[in-house]
Amino acid sequence: MRLNARAFAFAAAIIAGSLSLVLNVLSVLTGFATAFFAVIEPFHPGYSHTLLGAFISAFWMVIYGYVIGATFALIYNAFTKG
């Protein structure tokens, strides 16, 4: 069974972006996992540990999720029959 690379990439982007947004907002409001978000800060230009930063991080995670999802689907399709 082959994967639709665009659909898989879109789904990965939505999941990555929404999880990032939810976890960042929880972190800003409760202080949960602040050390982790300090680690990812250099990989997300414009990110800071604020509510605005949560949306910036979600934006970058949507891009990363799309690229990684598309790459995975294309590699998977290269090794499957059909």
CB neighbours of 17 closer than 8 A, spacing ≥ 6? 58, 59, 61, 62, 65
**pLDDT tens by residue, 41-74:** 898 899 999 999 999 999 999 999 999 999 999 9
Mean pLDDT on 27-53: 91
- Percentage, residues of the chain above pLDDT 70: 99
Cβ(21)–Cβ(54) below 8 Å: yes
Task: Give the pLDDT band (50/70/90) at residue 82.
Answer: low
Delimit the domains of the chain by residue range. 5-79
Task: Give residue 37's pLDDT.
Answer: 87
